[in-house]
Amino acid sequence: MEVESFLFNIVILSMFVNMAIALYGIFTRPSLIKKIISLTIFSDTVNTLAIVVGFRHAIPNPIPPVVVEIPPSSQYLRLFVSRAVDPLPQALVLTAIVIGLAVVLFLMFTTLQIYRIYGTTDVRKVSKLRG
């Protein structure tokens, strides 16, 4: 249990570092394309973090939230509830992926249009343009 907990904390810490790197890309890279790539890395990291938070420790192993015995006996359901991982973060992440897709899509089309009209995706040059 101690080893498992230690490894889990390392995974979570590496996700925090990954978030920081992605935010660094969003803040400092001048290219809009690189900003969008950093944004997708950031959202994927946060989604993975949500999935990990829904994980649980079960003996001998946790199982996915899918009932496999049909019809389920009450004994099986008790075992299922005591071992299955949390389905709620998974459902929320499914939503987050769809919404994130729509956001990335909108940003990509805007960037494409900026490139077509101004011939550059560098924010330093775009911000200096007039008209």
Partner 1 sequence: MSSTLRNIVVIVTLTLMVVGLAVVLTVGGFGFSLPPHNVRALATIFLNTTLNLDANYRYVSAMSPEAVTAIVWDYRGLDTLFETSVMFIAIVGALAISRGATEKLLKTSPPVLGMSLITKTITRITIVMILAVGASIALHGHLTPGGGFQGGATIAVVPMLLIIIFSIYLFSKMITIYKAVTLRSVGLIGIALSSFIVLIIAALYGGSAYIFQNQPKLHSHYGLPSYAEPILLGGTLLFFNVFETLAVAFGFAALFILFTIPEDAVKSAIMGEE
Which residues of the shown chain bind partner 1 in the complex (CB under 8 A)? 4-5, 8-9, 12-13, 16-17, 19-20, 23-24, 27-28, 52-58, 64-68, 70-72, 74, 77, 80-81, 84-88, 90-91, 94-95, 97-99, 101-103, 105-106, 108-110, 112-113, 116-117
Q: Which is nearer to partner 1, 3 or 130 (CB)?
A: 3
User: Cβ of residue 114: shortest distance to partner 1, in angstroms?
Assistant: 11
Q: Give the angle subtended at the CA of 51 by the CAs of 54 and 96, to the nearest 5°.
A: 120
User: Cβ of residue 91: shortest distance to partner 1, in angstroms?
Assistant: 4
Cβ proximity of 39 and 100 under 8 Å: no
Q: At 100, which amino acid appears?
A: G
3-class DSSP assignment, residue 61: coil
User: Cβ of residue 14: shortest distance to partner 1, in angstroms?
Assistant: 10
User: CA 85 → CA 37, 40, 43, 58, distances in Å?
Assistant: 31, 26, 22, 9
